Amino acid sequence: MALREQSYLILLALSEGSLHGYGVIKAVRELSEGQVRLGAGTLYGALDRLAGDGLVIVAKEEVVSGRHRRYYELTGHGRQVLAAETTRLARLATTAQRRLSLQPGMGM
Amino acid sequence: MTHDIASVYERRCRLLMRLAYPPRFREFRGAELLSTLLDLAEPGQRGPTMRESFDMLRAGLMLRLREHPPPWHWLLYRVFGARLPWRYRWWARDDIQGRFFVERQLGAIMLVWIMYLVWITSGLPSWAVLVMMGLTYLSARLSKAGLRRKWLAKHEFHPDGTSYHVRPRPGGEATERRPA
């Protein structure tokens, strides 16, 4: 199953432990080196879809300084899908590098 | 962020959420979404940015489209009062409790039966047709509360819109499963 870039980055952000919404947005920004800036609307739409596919679940809920926090974490299936997608992307990157290195003037 | 600016920011976020998302979403995700928007605010920011506003409006529209019943079910529900499948019952609740519920129902019924209505009223003077339509509308308006109660019960909701069954928390399951 090929994941959208945003979904992949969200799963990757959650791979080191549970995070709340704002935590996911920050982690995705860091992972993508500032290239992907998730909006709150996009984030919750993506989380709903990922939860629907059984890739993430709510780990816990709490209220901190009057702010409602809901923490999300990967399911076992989510971790498997993330690993499979990472392998696929790595293979694709290797192929891309090999092809580019064959082009004149593109030695890598 | 000073208290005044923070409260202006929060008020604008709430307004945006009301514009973008249906009540069922705000009821279960509103507090969480608002907290995230408050976390995202830069010092001194007085409202959500254009980018954030557009993102939420787009996400809200996608959610509404995703959760809207398919045309055939929608037509049976709107015109014949049929119960929607279980996974659309929260959509039905918002529709029944929403503004202009009676007008939406009557409008759809009239559109579907328009040929028949034209035929049965063809011999009548136009004022009589208008009086009949007015009386129908008036009786529907007067029985609105009872109509809402009945339709909510049909979709397993109490008259105040609370569910007969506990809803799984968002992020747990994408669609609510019918209890055994």
pLDDT at B122: 76
**Residue A51: closest C-alpha in chain B:** B171
If one counts every other C-beta atom within 10 angstroms of the C-beta of residue B163, the result is: 15
Taking an 8 Å cut-off on Cβ atoms, the answer to whether A21 and B33 are in contact is yes
| Residue B84 to chain A, least CA–CA distance (Å) | 21
Residue-wise pLDDT for A5-15, tens only, equals 999 999 999 99
Element (H, E) at A11: helix A5-13
Residue-wise pLDDT for A12-66, tens only, equals 999 999 999 999 999 999 999 999 999 999 999 999 999 999 999 999 999 988 8
Tokens of B80: 């014949």
pLDDT at B174: 46
- The angle formed by the CA atoms of residues A20, A75 and A8, to the nearest 5 degrees, is 70
Among A36, A42, A48, most B C-beta atoms within 10 A, so best to mutate, is A48
| Every domain of chain B and the residues it spans | 2-67, 71-176
Taking an 8 Å cut-off on Cβ atoms, the answer to whether B174 and A49 are in contact is yes
For residues B41 and B20, give the distance between their C-alpha atoms in angstroms, rounded to a whole number.
19
**Residue B20: closest C-alpha in chain A:** A41
Element (H, E) at B137: helix B126-142
For residues B93 and B168, give the distance between their C-alpha atoms in angstroms, rounded to a whole number.
17
Tokens of A4: 């959208």
For residues A18 and A34, give the distance between their C-alpha atoms in angstroms, rounded to a whole number.
21
pLDDT band at A104 (very low <50, low <70, confident <90, very high): low
| ipTM of this complex | 0.85
| Residue B153 to chain A, least CA–CA distance (Å) | 27
Measured between CB atoms, which of A40, A52, A61 is closest to B40? A40
| Residue B47 to chain A, least CA–CA distance (Å) | 14
Residue-wise pLDDT for B166-175, tens only, equals 776 665 544 5
Backbone angles phi, psi at A63, to 5 degrees: -115, 120
Among A4, A11, A44, A74, most B C-beta atoms within 10 A, so best to mutate, is A44
Mark A7-23 as b/e (b = at least 16 C-beta within 10 Å).
bbbbbbbbbeebbbbbb
pLDDT at B165: 80
**Highest-confidence segment of A11-25, B87-101, B148-162:** A11-25
Residue B119: pLDDT above 80? no
pLDDT band at B157 (very low <50, low <70, confident <90, very high): very high
| Residue B12 to chain A, least CA–CA distance (Å) | 15
For residues B23 and B29, give the distance between their C-alpha atoms in angstroms, rounded to a whole number.
10
Specify the DSSP class assigned to residue A14.
G
User: What residue type is assigned to position B45 of the chain?
Assistant: Q
Tokens of B77: 């529900």
For residues A47 and B82, give the distance between their C-alpha atoms in angstroms, rounded to a whole number.
32
Q: Is A71 helix (H, G, I), strand (E, B) or coil?
A: strand
Residues of B in contact with A46 (CB under 8 A): none
Backbone angles phi, psi at B136, to 5 degrees: -60, -45
Specify the DSSP class assigned to residue A60.
E
Specify the DSSP class assigned to residue B168.
P
pLDDT band at A89 (very low <50, low <70, confident <90, very high): very high
Residues 6+ apart with CB under 8 A from A64: none
**Residue A73: closest C-alpha in chain B:** B171
pLDDT at B179: 65
